[in-house]
Amino acid sequence: MAITELKHLLRDFYPFSLLTDYQLQEMTDKATEVTFSKNEFIFHEDESVEELDLYFLVSGLAKNILHQSNGKQLSLRYYYPGDIIGIMVMFTNGALNFSVQALEDCTVFKLNKKHFFEMMTRNNDFSKVIWESIGERTKSLYDEMKNKTSDDERDNVHLLTSRVNTWMDTPVFISPEATMEQAAKLMKDKNVLGLIVSEKPPMKYGIITIGNIIQYVAKDIYSNKVRDWVNVEPYYVHAEAFAYEALSFIKNKSLEFIPVVHYDKVIGTLSSRSFLQLQDSSFLDLTYHVKNGKSVKELVNEGPLVNQTLHTFIKSLMEKDTYAYDIAEVITNHNDNLYRQVLKLAESEMKAEGYGLPPINYCFIIMGSQARREQGFRTDQDNGMILHDYEHLHNKEEIEKYFNIFTTKINSHLAAIGFTECSGGIMARENKWRKSSTSWKKEIDTWKKELDAEEIQKFTMFYDFRPIYGDFSLAEDIRTTITEKAMRSNTLQQLLMKDALRFKISAHPFGIVQIKQKNKKINVKKTGLTQIIYSIRINAIKYGIREVSTIKRLDALKKLHAMHPRDVDNAKTALHYLHYYRLKQNLLELELGEMTTNDINIMNLEKEDRLKLKEALQIAHRMQQVTKISFNRNRVV
- Taking only the tens place, the pLDDT of each residue in 34-59 is 999 988 888 887 666 666 778 888 88
- What's residue 320's pLDDT? 76
Q: Say which residue, 261 or 452, is predicted with more confidence.
A: 261
- Cα 331–Cα 481–Cα 554 angle in degrees, nearest 5: 45
> Is residue 636's pLDDT more than 50?
no
- Cα 55–Cα 57–Cα 61 angle in degrees, nearest 5: 125
> Is residue 3's pLDDT more than 80?
no
- Taking only the tens place, the pLDDT of each residue in 300-342 is 999 999 999 899 888 888 887 889 998 998 899 899 989 999 9
Q: Is 354 left (phi over 0), alpha (psi -120 to 50) or beta?
A: left
CA distance 216 to 221: 7
Task: Tell me the pLDDT band of 158, cut-offs 50, 70 and 90.
Answer: very low
Query: What's the Cα-to-Cα distance from 137 to each of 76, 84, 87, 101, rounded to whole Å?
Result: 10, 12, 10, 18
- Taking only the tens place, the pLDDT of each residue in 201-226 is 888 889 999 888 888 888 766 788 99
Query: Which burial class, exposed, middle or buried, applies to 597 when counting CB atoms under 10 A from its CB (0-12, 13-18, 19+)?
Result: middle
- The share of the chain scoring above pLDDT 90, in percent, equals 43
Q: Say which residue, 368 or 505, is predicted with more confidence.
A: 368
pTM above 0.75, yes or no: no
- Taking only the tens place, the pLDDT of each residue in 62-115 is 888 877 766 667 666 788 888 888 876 665 544 457 788 898 899 988 888 888
- What's residue 115's pLDDT? 82
